[in-house]
């Protein structure tokens, strides 16, 4: 199973974190500090797997972002690389050529997408079309809620005049 | 690693994994390499001699140390 997912920028700043195993806040910051130091210092020619604390960390660099996933010792590393690529492809389709700024300003949407793909550290949805459809439905739900709120606020404003 | 086997099958297994070691992708090389070290550890535990013909391993400090630690194993003649 996947223990946690990290998105780290080239500068070592964390852009997204998702924890599927219990870690205290102190442990989390220590893990992020350790792993960002390890991964950012690795050469491009080295393989995408790091053995760390009895786990395996699978990472892949896309432009200025490192996508990292920590898995158990007996898990398949190549499968996790495919999951990372799958996640990136869905982000790319949703944002239309995704960049780091998209994830900074629309981080909540990145979390929504990740929650559609992974549940409890396991891959749940392998279809990109299905994920896109579900996220579009969620977006329309949010838009409807916003419209309802704005109409309610208009009614309240008129009533108080 | 609890599959019943004989010397010939072991040599065949090593040869198949050796093909993956000659792959240009370092990720595939790392996985095949870690699997070979697992096999070597199992067979050495059974007091059997294995020779690994590993050519041009250049994993840059990922799995190469582990093979050096285990030492050169010899295959059945």
**What is the pLDDT, as a whole number, of residue B2?**
61
Domain ranges of chain B: 7-74
Comparing CA positions, the residue from A149, A64, A51, A145 lying closest to residue B31 is A51
More confident site: B23 or A18 = A18
CA A120 to chain centre: 14
**Chain B residues in contact with A43 (beta carbon < 8 A):** 60
Residue A52: closest C-alpha in chain B = B62
Enumerate residue ranges in chain A where pLDDT < 50. none
pLDDT tens-digit readout, A102-148: 888 888 889 879 988 988 998 888 888 888 988 899 888 887 887 77
Q: Which residues of A, range 24-53, sit inside 8 Å of B by Cβ?
A: 43, 45-49
Domains held by chain A: number? 1
**Spatial distance between the Cα atoms of B77 and B68, rounded to a whole number of angstroms:** 22
Q: For the domain that residue A74 is a member of, what is the CATH number?
A: 3.30.450.60
Tell me whether residues A78 and B31 touch, CB distance under 8 A: yes
**What is the pLDDT, as a whole number, of residue B38?**
77
**What is the pLDDT, as a whole number, of residue A99?**
84
From the candidates A41, A46, A47, A51, which should be mutated to test the interface with B, based on the most B CB atoms within 10 A? A47
pLDDT tens-digit readout, B30-40: 888 787 877 77
Judged by a CB distance cut-off of 8 A, whether residue B31 touches chain A is yes
**By 3-state DSSP, what share of chain A in percent is helix, strand and coil, each rounded to 5?**
55, 25, 25
Instruction: Count CA atoms within 13 Å of residue B18 on its CB side.
Output: 12
Residue A17 domain boundaries: 2-160
Tell me whether residues B26 and A78 touch, CB distance under 8 A: no
């Amino acid at each position: 199973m996947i223990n946690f997912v990290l998105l780290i920028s080239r500068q070592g700043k964390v852009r997204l974190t998702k924890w599927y195993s219990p870690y205290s806040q102190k442990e989390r910051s220590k893990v992020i500090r350790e792993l960002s130091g390890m991964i950012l210092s690795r050469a491009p020619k080295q393989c995408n797997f790091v053995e760390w604390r009895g786990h395996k960390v699978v990472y892949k660099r896309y432009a200025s972002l490192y996508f990292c996933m920590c898995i158990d010792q007996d898990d398949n590393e190549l499968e996790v690389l495919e999951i990372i690529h799958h996640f990136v492809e869905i982000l790319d389709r949703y944002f239309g050529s995704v960049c780091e700024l998209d994830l900074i300003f629309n981080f909540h949407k990145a979390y929504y997408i990740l929650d559609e793909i992974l549940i409890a550290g396991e891959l749940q949805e392998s279809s990109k079309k299905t994920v896109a459809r579900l996220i579009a439905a969620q977006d329309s739900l949010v838009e409807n809620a916003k419209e309802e709120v704005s109409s309610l606020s208009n009614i309240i404003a008129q009533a108080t005049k | 690693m609890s599959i019943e086997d004989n010397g010939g099958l072991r040599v065949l297994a090593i040869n198949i994994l050796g093909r993956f070691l000659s792959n240009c992708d370092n990720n595939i090389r790392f996985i095949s390499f870690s699997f070979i070290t697992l096999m070597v550890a199992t067979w050495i535990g059974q007091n059997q001699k294995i020779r690994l013909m590993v050519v041009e391993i250049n994993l840059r400090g990922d799995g190469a140390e582990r093979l050096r630690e285990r030492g050169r194993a010899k295959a059945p003649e």
